[in-house]
Structures are given as structure tokens and as C-alpha cells.
Amino acid sequence: MKVKEFGKDHWSVLAYVETCCVDNKGRVDVRRLRINEYKRPIRSNGLGWNPKYGTRIKGGSIPDPSHDDWDCLEDLEQEELLELIGTMINPVFKLTDRGLRVASELREYKAKGGQFAAFEPASLAGGVKTIHCMDTHSRRER
């Protein structure tokens, strides 16, 4: 899956991994992930799986009802936002430089009230990032 299709679940997983990198040396608690136990019985968190738990992409649809947070992690890795340096049994991740830029942008976006589902990283789109605040020295938006 490409980054332009990422929706709420991909961005919330990236935010979670960033928090784990900051607070827990990149160690992820799989009990906090949506794990499809039919695809990954070794990683099951015991919560069960229902097709309605599938990953929501941009626009809110669930094109693949079996797509779970581990799939999101693999998608994020394929887009070079993070890297798995542990194993599926002992998952440890690190953010790439690109991932750090996007995670920083996501954190700022969320801090200003944005929702994961609507996040579009300007740093990946080649667009100009607009921060809605006043520059007190020049009295202009920057």
C-alpha cells in the first residue's frame, strides 16, 4: 500500500511507534496492536479478529478486511518511514530520517486538533507546509 492511501490506522500506528521509540527504545507492546490471529497466530494478542477490524484507508473504507496493524507496520517500512530491527516475536522499531520528519509533522498536526484520518504529510507530497500561527516579529503567517 502506498503512503497516499494511508488513513487513520496507518498514521495512528506511526504515532504509536514514535512514542515507543521515545519512551521504550523502540519496543512495541503487541497488546496495543490490532493483530489478525488468523494470519499471525504466533503474534495473537488474544483479542480475536473480526473483518470489521480491518485497516481503514484514506476515505474510511476497509478494502482488505484481513489487513491488521502488523500489515500497517510493513507498509510503513516499505515506504521507508520505519525499520524493524527486532523480530516478530520481539518487535523493536526505529524511525528512519524520513519517518522522523513525518512523525514530527503528524505530532504537530495532532497537537493542533487534527484527526489521524485526515492527515496528509506535506513533507512527502513535496508541498509547502503551512503552520497557522502568527510570527510575532513580522506579524505574518508563517
Q: What is the pLDDT of residues 60-90, one digit of tens each?
A: 999 999 999 999 999 999 999 999 998 877 8
CATH number at residue 131: 1.10.10.10
Decide if 88 contacts 104 (C-beta within 8 A). no
The pLDDT value given to residue 131: 36
- The total number of structural domains in the chain stands at 1
Q: Indicate whether 80 belongs to any domain.
A: yes
Domain that holds residue 59: 3-135
What digits encode the pLDDT tens for the residues 81-117?
999 998 877 889 999 999 999 999 999 999 999 999 9
Q: Indicate whether 113 belongs to any domain.
A: yes
Q: Return all residues near 142 (Cβ < 8 A) that are at least 6 apart.
A: 131, 133, 135
Q: How confident is the model at residue 44 (pLDDT cuts 50, 70, 90)?
A: low
Angle of the 97-111 helix axis to the 8-24 helix axis, nearest 10: 110
Decide if 24 contacts 86 (C-beta within 8 A). no
The pLDDT value given to residue 85: 92
Q: What is the C-alpha radius of gyration for the chain, rounded to an integer number of angstroms?
A: 16
Q: Indicate whether 142 belongs to any domain.
A: no
- Mean pLDDT across 18-32: 93
99 closest CA partner among 116, 114, 84: 84
Q: Return all residues near 1 (Cβ < 8 A) that are at least 6 apart.
A: 10, 57, 71, 75, 78
The predicted model scores a pTM of 0.82
The pLDDT value given to residue 138: 37
